[in-house]
Amino acid sequence: MKNKEQNSEDVLEKNTGQKFELIDPKIHILLLEDEYNLGETLQEYLLSLNFRCQWAKSIEEAKVYLQKSLGIDLHQNSYSEKNDHKIDDKKDEMDLFHLALLDVNLPDGNGLELGKWIRKHSPETQLLFISAVNDPEVKLESLEIGAQDFITKPFHLKEIVLRIKRIESMLKQHVPAFVKLGKLAIKFEEFLLIDALGNEIPLSQKERLILELLYRHKNSVIHRDYIIEKIWGEDKYPSQRTVDNYIVKLRKWSETDPNLPVTIISIRGGGYKLKIV
């Protein structure tokens, strides 16, 4: 018989059957590369290092992935029927991309223009360009868009990974003092939450640390054991239910308005995800 309290508290997302390991959740990467051998090699290498990587072979396909990750309604799939990697819009929604690794010259457009589109619609997504064109003007334009770097082909796979890890480290270290999420807000430095009605909700130290950890890895699954290790350390090891109880309060804050773009989702057998649309 299922626990009634658990049913009322948990907002469950389907478990994919993935085995969760006690590792730092990896960033989600969009790879745009039309050269098949290079794209396949890059994706396989990144996946082998436990990065999450979605490979698009055209700008049109990349935009479909981006729109799905941003929750944009795909009322019409403009992706070419001729491509053998057609996207099924009925699939589960994607997590937001933390990094877009973009080729510049593609048959259906320019990666720099896609970078501008990403800047407009998903400003938190970091940009990293790769290109066979060693043109200072192109590199300068990519930096003006806000790219973290511009890498000229040919390159060593480890060079790409080092750049990605630097970006990953930067993303994990950066937690702003104030975060606005629709009508909700988080004041990390003041240990306060602001609910949909404008009420201030004080946070305990543990609640603030848990929320900060979830925010650092937003739209990624965080295992309960990972939270315990990072917040309590090895000396004290509370039960997993202790973490669940802290999450209950944080979830009540996020659910003060069901139409708001943030929620804390429970993954059965796994942990939690701070989902921000």
Sorted by where each begins, the domain ranges of the chain are 28-173, 176-276
Rounded to a whole number, what is the distance in angstroms from the first to the last CA of the chain? 34
Residues present in the chain in total = 277
Question: Rg for the chain (alpha carbons), in Å?
Answer: 20
Q: Which fold has domain 28-173?
A: Rossmann fold (3.40.50)
What confidence tens digit (pLDDT) does each residue in 233-271 have?
765 667 778 888 888 888 888 887 777 778 888 887 778
| Cα-based distances in Å from 54 to 15, 190, 238 | 20, 37, 36
Cα 94–98–101 angle (5° rounding)? 100
**Residues whose CB falls within 8 Å of the CB of residue 127, separated by 6 or more in sequence, listed in order:** 99, 100, 102, 115, 118, 119, 142, 145, 146, 147, 148
CATH of domain 176-276: 1.10.10.10
What confidence tens digit (pLDDT) does each residue in 195-233 have?
888 889 998 888 888 888 888 888 888 888 888 887 877
- Spell out the per-residue pLDDT of the chain, length 277, in tens: 334 333 323 333 333 344 333 335 567 899 999 999 999 999 999 999 989 899 999 999 999 999 888 766 554 444 333 333 333 343 345 677 889 999 999 999 999 999 999 988 887 788 999 999 888 899 999 999 989 899 999 899 999 999 998 888 877 666 677 788 878 888 887 888 888 888 899 988 888 888 888 888 888 888 888 888 878 776 566 777 888 888 888 888 888 777 777 888 888 777 898 888 7
User: In terms of pTM, does the model score above 0.75?
Assistant: no
